[in-house]
Chains A and B, each alone.
Chain A
Amino acid sequence: EDQVTQSPEALRLQEGESSSLNCSYTVSGLRGLFWYRQDPGKGPEFLFTLYSAGEEKEKERLKATLTKKESFLHITAPKPEDSATYLCAVNQAGTALIFGKGTTLSVSS
């Protein structure tokens, strides 16, 4: 049973077309939720950590939010350079990170 599910698997946007990526989780005792960006052929790059429901973090055109069951990564007015795979991971008490399979975002000009 998947503990971290990301949707959609792939998302195509036009430049400037805002949207959201979803990460839902079923783990108990959440100790943190993490968002990463991964470019093809490279290692994941850390973006945000969220610890409690209601928390929000922002970085440039990205804003991450957290509820008790899911997190959203909102992308406002995306640019082609935002094209990447976005990974979500959760830290359950006493274990290493559990990763979702990612959402591949393509932004065309």
Chain B
Amino acid sequence: DVKVTQSSRYLVKRTGEKVFLECVQDMDHENMFWYRQDPGLGLRLIYFSYDVKMKEKGDIPEGYSVSREKKERFSLILESASTNQTSMYLCASSPGLAGARDEQFFGPGTRLTVL
């Protein structure tokens, strides 16, 4: 079975802190994704990556950056956390190349609260 793990289930940070969310997948997938999920807004794509050291902006990249130094690991970085970044963050991976017809497999999520 595909396993996608996220470094924390719950995280509480203060405004202005730099926050790192880590995601690891164990199935040698090419593609990795970061979403945030908010009530009434659904899942929104922040960034995705189709290859090591490669990244693409999603629908809401402002205030975030990402890093993919190894194929299995995709990190989401909040450079200076703000209260409007309080959300559930979900990481996903899928096997194929860009534009491929692949289902995505999700991690358990990180509930981030910024005070």
Contact = CB atoms under 8 A, between A and B. Distances in A.
Interface of A: 31-32, 34, 36, 41-46, 49, 51, 87, 89, 91, 93-97, 99-102
A40 to B, nearest CB: 10
A91 B45 contact: no
A93 B103 contact: no
A5 B75 CA distance: 30
Given A46-B106, A93-B99, A99-B43, 4 more contacts: A41-B109, A43-B90, A101-B40, A101-B41
Most buried by B among A36, A87, A97, A101: A97
B42 A100 contact: yes
29 contacts: A31-B99, A34-B104, A41-B109, A41-B111, A42-B108, A43-B92, A43-B106, A43-B109, A44-B43, A45-B106, A46-B103, A46-B104, A46-B105, A46-B106, A49-B101, A49-B103, A51-B101, A87-B43, A91-B102, A93-B99, A94-B98, A94-B99, A96-B48, A99-B42, A99-B43, A100-B42, A101-B41, A101-B42, A102-B42
B95 interface: no
Contacts of A51: 101
Contacts of B105: 46
A89 B33 CA distance: 14
A102 to B, nearest CB: 7
Contact of B107 (A43, A95, A99): A43
A32 B111 CA distance: 29
Contacts of A31: 99, 101
Nearest to A31: B101
Nearest to A36: B106
B58 interface: yes
A36 to B, nearest CB: 8
A92 to B, nearest CB: 9
